[in-house]
Amino acid sequence: MNQEIRKKLDHITDILWAGGVTNPVTYIEQISYLIYLKLLDEAENERELQGKLMNGNNKRLFPGQSERYRWSKWRFNSGEKLRNFLRDDVFPYMSTGLLKDEPQIAEYFRDAVLEIVDPNVLKQVIDEIDAINFRRLGPDEKGDIFEYLLTHLGQSALNGQFRTPRQIRSMMVELVDPDFGDTIYDPACGTGGFLIDSLEYVLAKYSEKPKEIPIYGEDWLLQKYLTKQADGAKKTENDKEIEIPESFLGDMKKDIPNLQTYRKGNGDKIPNWELLEGSLFGIDVSRQMMRIATMNMVLHGVPKSNIKRANTLSDLGGLSDEDLKRKYKVILSNPPFAGVLPQDSIRKDLPTNSKKSELLFLGVMMEALAQGGRCAIVVPEGLLFGSSGAHIELRRKLVEEFDLLAVISLPAGVFKPYAGVKTGVLVFRKPKGDIKKDVSRKIWFYEIKNDGFDPDKITGGGRPETPKQNDIPDLISQWKKYKAKDFTDAPGIEANTILPSGSDEARCWWVSQDSIIKSDYNLGSGRYKPQIAEKIPTEDATELIKNAIKVEVEVADLLKRLLKEVS
């Protein structure tokens, strides 16, 4: 990201923090409102230009008297006049005046509240945002702006909601392999991370020259490049002028074979952008999260996103009949685990009668998956081996009625610093037609010990990078072999194999469906993990016995002396 823009964003967040807007979710939401108003003003400028070329025959966002609500018309005001006009006039117009012609914009601003109460703080923030010419920035640069703001959420969580780390999102997206034409859905989308990553994955697929990027980001790669240079200590102020040779990342990967990367591209070979834009669907129960996800999509070039505020678990949660009937080819999610819903509120079409949110969310995805569709979901480990009737029955349906491809165990510290719950990832697909019961079918297990970040340390609100210690690239490599055989021949060794003493710990193994069924559909990885035989003693058995007797005699003598002393 351009360092000038980074400094502006840092300055904006510092201003808001000093002005009393200290919750990261709140100040990101407030910045989102203002950025959206600036973007709409820039879009109106383009409409005006097009109107002149078309003799005025184009629809405007701010026609006639409503032009006074445009950013460019009020941004030079100050003091209480600015604050009050924005709060009492602009926000209401955006939520009601555009309801008919621009329902998505109106929905975004519905119930929006300006929480920057200090007029001087508001003026400073508006001035900083006004200095950013978004029209000149590409989708990548706009997206980077919001992704940078979202890093502030890495230090906090709201009602159990927090961002899934990039390395896990990237892994899950690659496992389900979304493609152009697939409908992609996250029923608990939060900030929209899975949808953005899926969008970038598809764009890279359809790009002439995609770029490979470490999961730690382009700035991380730039810093590594600068330290390699003779004048690395004399880092320039404008990092944008520094071009990293394409060969540098390749050289790094030779030094760090486990370096995890993802690809980005401009999607210049996408045949129909509107079709891609309309294929992304996200729902979140929080209006704050819905707004943040919407702005995330807007800044990534998807202004007409299908982001909606609703409760996907409830019959009373605001889902339309169309929402309930729609099926998706790709589903990716890390839903909130904690929570119990009243029985009367829960959707009746879900394949479970549980009231626990983790089971309900898995049920939502099983229900919403289209035939031939793929799903990857983060689940708490307890879901994999819970012994309640609801746990067992849902796992039975998953194993027997779906094609369960993989159970991936994640490290305990993957969601630190704001959660230490042990989790896993389930990857499954819905068969085209009825699945035939095949007890010999293999289910693949993979245990990730390291995910590219230190499992124990927390610095600067997050875990420090450990690029040399990351099992995810190996998992992806093994997955590709598994996929090449249509998921019929799982990599690794058979479950519960006893490995010779001195062997390396198994990373992956497979379990037959029959073994899973006989174990009450238990999907806990530890139940099936191959074990390493203990080292056979090489000492002479006679000597061992003599030494044991000697120790016994010495203990007996000590006890006799102790008895004399106390009697």
Written as one string, the DSSP assignment of 16-38 is HHHTT---HHHHHHHHHHHHHHH
Q: Which residue range(s) make up the domain with 32? A: 1-136
Establish if 224 belongs to a structural domain. no
3-state secondary structure 354-419: CCEHHHHHHHHHHHHEEEEEEEEEEEEHHHHHCCCHHHHHHHHHHHHHCEEEEEEECCCCCCCCCC
Identify which of 423, 446, 441, 358 has the alpha carbon closest to the alpha carbon of residue 395: 358
Determine the pLDDT at residue 233: 46
Q: Report how far residue 344's alpha carbon sits from residue 314's, in angstroms, rounded to the nearest whole number.
A: 9
Q: How far is CA 24 from the centre of its chain?
A: 18
Residue 79 buriedness (CB in 10 A; 0-12 / 13-18 / 19+): exposed
Establish if 480 belongs to a structural domain. yes
Determine the pLDDT at residue 136: 81
The CATH number for 291's domain is 3.40.50.150
Identify which of 128, 94, 151, 114 has the alpha carbon closest to the alpha carbon of residue 26: 114
Asked if 192 and 161 touch (Cβ cutoff 8 Å), the reply is no
Establish if 239 belongs to a structural domain. no
Residue 208 buriedness (CB in 10 A; 0-12 / 13-18 / 19+): exposed
Identify which of 146, 136, 148 has the alpha carbon closest to the alpha carbon of residue 42: 136
What pTM did the predictor assign?
0.86
Chain position carrying tokens 């004048």: 231
Q: Report how far residue 182's alpha carbon sits from residue 206's, in angstroms, rounded to the nearest whole number.
A: 14
Chain position carrying tokens 């058995």: 541
Establish if 182 belongs to a structural domain. no
The CATH number for 124's domain is 1.20.1260.30
- Residuewise pLDDT in 10s, the chain (567 residues): 677 888 888 999 999 999 999 888 888 899 999 999 999 998 888 877 766 665 555 677 788 889 999 999 999 999 999 999 999 999 999 998 887 878 888 888 999 999 999 999 999 999 999 998 888 887 777 778 877 888 776 544 444 455 788 999 999 999 999 999 999 999 999 889 999 999 999 999 999 999 999 999 888 898 889 888 755 444 444 444 578 888 899 999 999 999 999 999 999 999 999 999 999 999 999 888 898 899 888 888 888 889 999 999 998 888 999 999 999 999 999 998 877 888 888 999 999 989 999 999 999 999 999 999 999 999 999 999 999 999 999 999 999 999 999 999 999 888 876 667 889 999 999 998 776 667 678 999 999 999 999 988 877 667 899 999 999 999 999 999 999 999 999 999 999 999 998 889 999 999 999 999 999 999 999 999 999 988 776 677 788 788 889 999 999 888 888 888 887
Angstrom distances, CA of residue 460 to CA of 151, 220, 294, 417, 463: 11, 15, 28, 10, 8
Q: Report how far residue 381's alpha carbon sits from residue 99's, in angstroms, rounded to the nearest whole number.
A: 44
Establish if 515 belongs to a structural domain. yes
| Two tokens, residue 437 | 């019961």
Q: Report how far residue 138's alpha carbon sits from residue 145's, in angstroms, rounded to the nearest whole number.
A: 11
Domain boundary residue, one of 136, 157, 173: 136
Establish if 222 belongs to a structural domain. no
Domain boundary residue, one of 83, 106, 136: 136
Domain boundary residue, one of 108, 136, 164: 136
Q: Are strands 493-494 and 211-214 parallel, antiparallel or unpaired?
A: unpaired
Establish if 474 belongs to a structural domain. yes
Asked if 193 and 163 touch (Cβ cutoff 8 Å), the reply is yes
Rounded to the nearest 5°, which phi and psi values hold at 346?
Answer: -75, 140
Q: Report how far residue 313's alpha carbon sits from residue 350's, in angstroms, rounded to the nearest whole number.
A: 9
Structural domain total, the chain: 2
Helical ranges in 437-540 per DSSP H = 472-484, 513-518
Q: Report how far residue 29's alpha carbon sits from residue 24's, in angstroms, rounded to the nearest whole number.
A: 8
Establish if 175 belongs to a structural domain. no
